[in-house]
Amino acid sequence: MASLDSCWQCIITHFSDFQLATFGSFIIHESVFFLSGLPSICFERTGLFSKYKIQKKSNTLDAQEKCILRLVLYHLCVNLPVMILSYPIFRWMGLKTSLPLPHWHVILLQIIFYFILEDFVFYWGHRLLHTKWLYKHVHSVHHEYATPFGLTSEYAHPAEILFLGFATIVGPALTGPHLFTLWLWMVLRVLETVEAHCGYHFPWSLSNFLPLYGGAEFHDFHHRILYTKSGNYSSTFTYMDRIFGTDSDYLKQKLAQSPEGKKYWRKKIKFFSA
């Protein structure tokens, strides 16, 4: 911990709070996002891990290039200005950069709170975006990729970036965290949404170990089904969809693909064909 304190002291000595909270946050976000999102493009191009790919079809090279170019444009023209303009609000809400760094249990509790609150707010915002008018004029941009890959997680209409981005910042805005906690939350949230859009369900995927975690398989269903019936609106967990029944089609598909489900449908087909 002492070495971490020393590193942090070096950072806050050489850069102002404004530089760290805006340009520092932007650089960290871009680095984590592209480094974690690019591998799924490589997997599609090379066929690596193809047996774990959820959908058999792949995106064209042109479609992948279009996504990357749009993302760079959106991040520079939307994300960065928002970070700069929101800095006074975060300072007013209590954002801190000074030592000492918060205790690990404070960081953990805040991160858990952010995930739960973000998931709740995101669910309702995302569900609203699937109403007819908003889907047609805003959210359909994100759904241009019926076969998602990691980088499509942030491919969206600028209005949606602002609208759903609120879900990500509302928790930190309410608690006024240390910048270190804010950066950690940003990194974890980026990794989560990239994983949910990666298009691959691996044996080591987190959803295999955490029952309430959605992951790629859960969200992939949302992208390949018609917007009026897709469901699975949550960002991280599955309990909101379970509570409000918006995962019913997904659960039916899972049941049909299970050994028990296949056995049931074989009996059904045999009965009606007799």
What's the per-residue H, E or C state across 225-259?
CCCCCCCCCCCCECHHHHHHCCCHHHHHHHHHHCH
What's residue 259's pLDDT? Answer: 65
What is the model's pTM? 0.91
Q: List the chain pLDDT tens, one digit each, 274 residues.
A: 668 989 999 999 999 999 999 999 999 999 999 999 999 999 999 999 999 999 999 999 999 999 999 999 999 999 999 999 999 988 998 999 999 999 999 999 999 999 999 999 999 999 999 999 999 999 999 999 999 999 999 999 999 999 999 999 999 999 999 999 999 999 999 999 999 999 999 999 999 999 899 999 999 999 988 777 789 999 999 999 999 999 999 998 888 876 655 454 354 345 434 4
Burial of 220 (0-12, 13-18, 19+ CB in 10 A): buried
What's residue 274's pLDDT? Answer: 47
Extents of the domains making up the chain: 2-203
Cβ atoms of residues 227 and 135 within 8 Å? yes
β-strand partners of 53? 200
